[in-house]
């Protein structure tokens, strides 16, 4: 299984796709930095970091990771290598799991990169003090959002596997991101699975700069939202496993 995982990472290394995804994750923090570079006003971390997080969790991440997922799962069919891949003496489910692990690794890398560039870039500006409490709060937001971002991936995998094409998954991601923009104005946003990644930003406490460590660690995610995310992930994953195991790949 480790060999399969290694081969999947090698496929990314040999293409420019990974750099494209990382560039997408770095775009907004760099854009925000450029927009504030000549400002004489102290940068407020709550608004500076909050604006980057809101866009990424609400729209950018959904589209970006849908693109990443569809690329990894559909390229075997567009490159005509699926027949060879699935004839190896390896369980199909192991291949599925390895591809999912690659996607989760990409999501982790993008979140880490965004966090570093957001606060690293902000330190280059005239800013209010960056306290441990502020960092703890935003680290918790990123961690929670990243885990909830994982919940959306199996559905995209299923679409990419069935369509064997990158386009439907990209359309799915774009439509999901656009729906989030409209749902932000509604009190029903907690019922949309596409809103999972932004829920920590909306439902966690402790955003104030003078927050204590205790309040910065104080979660307020609704239990129903967490259960909904787990159910969405589980159903999507079961669908992927059943389709991968039963469908004629050729």
Write the DSSP assignment of 68-99 as a string of letters.
HHHHHHHHHHHTT-HHHHTTSSS-HHHHHHHH
Let me know: does 209 contact 130? Beta carbons within 8 Å.
no
pLDDT in tens, 54-105: 899 988 999 999 999 998 888 877 776 666 666 666 788 888 898 999 999 9
Q: Cα separation of 58 and 173, whole Å?
A: 11
DSSP labels, 192-213: -GGGGGGHHHHH----STT--H
Alpha helices in the chain (DSSP H): 2-13, 17-36, 45-55, 61-78, 82-85, 92-122, 132-150, 153-163, 166-183, 199-203, 213-216, 223-246
Q: Look up residue 111 and give its two tokens.
A: 């979140």
Residue 189 pLDDT greater than 80, yes or no: no
DSSP labels, 169-186: HHHHHHHHHHHHHHHTTS
Confidence of residue 175 (pLDDT cuts 50, 70, 90): very high
Confidence of residue 106 (pLDDT cuts 50, 70, 90): very high
Each domain of the chain, given as residue ranges in start order, spans 2-246
What is the CB neighbour count within 10 angstroms for residue 153?
Answer: 21
Residue 8 pLDDT greater than 80, yes or no: no
pLDDT in tens, 16-65: 888 889 999 999 999 999 988 887 788 888 889 989 998 999 889 999 99
Which of 144, 145, 146, 170 shows the shortest CA–CA distance to 156? Answer: 170
pLDDT in tens, 197-234: 988 887 664 444 444 444 444 555 677 778 888 999 99
Q: What's residue 38's pLDDT? A: 80
Q: What's residue 10's pLDDT? A: 80
Most confident option among 11-15, 100-104, 180-184, 200-204: 100-104
């Amino acid at each position: 299984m480790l060999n399969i995982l290694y081969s999947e990472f090698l496929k990314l290394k040999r293409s420019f796709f990974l750099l494209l995804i990382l560039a997408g994750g770095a775009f907004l923090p760099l854009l925000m930095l450029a927009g504030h570079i000549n400002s004489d006003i102290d940068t407020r971390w709550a608004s500076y970091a909050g604006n980057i997080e809101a866009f990424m969790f609400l729209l950018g991440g959904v589209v970006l990771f849908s693109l990443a997922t569809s690329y990894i799962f559909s390229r075997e069919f567009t490159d005509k290598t699926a027949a060879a891949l699935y004839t190896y003496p390896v369980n199909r489910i192991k291949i599925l799991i390895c591809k999912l692990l690659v996607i989760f690794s990409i999501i982790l890398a993008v979140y880490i990169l965004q966090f570093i560039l957001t606060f690293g870039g902000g330190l280059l500006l005239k800013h209010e003090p960056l306290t441990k409490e502020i960092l703890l709060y935003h680290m918790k937001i990123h961690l929670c959002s990243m885990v909830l971002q994982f919940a959306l991936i199996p559905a995209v995998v299923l679409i990419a596997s069935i369509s064997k094409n990158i386009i439907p998954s990209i359309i799915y991601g774009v439509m999901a991101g656009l729906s989030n923009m409209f749902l932000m104005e509604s009190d029903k946003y907690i019922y949309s699975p596409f809103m999972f990644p932004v829920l920590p930003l909306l439902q966690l406490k402790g955003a104030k700069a003078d927050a204590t460590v205790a309040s910065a660690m104080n979660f307020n995610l609704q239990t129903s939202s967490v259960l909904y995310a787990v159910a969405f992930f589980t159903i999507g994953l079961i669908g992927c496993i059943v389709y991968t195991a039963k469908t004629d790949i050729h």
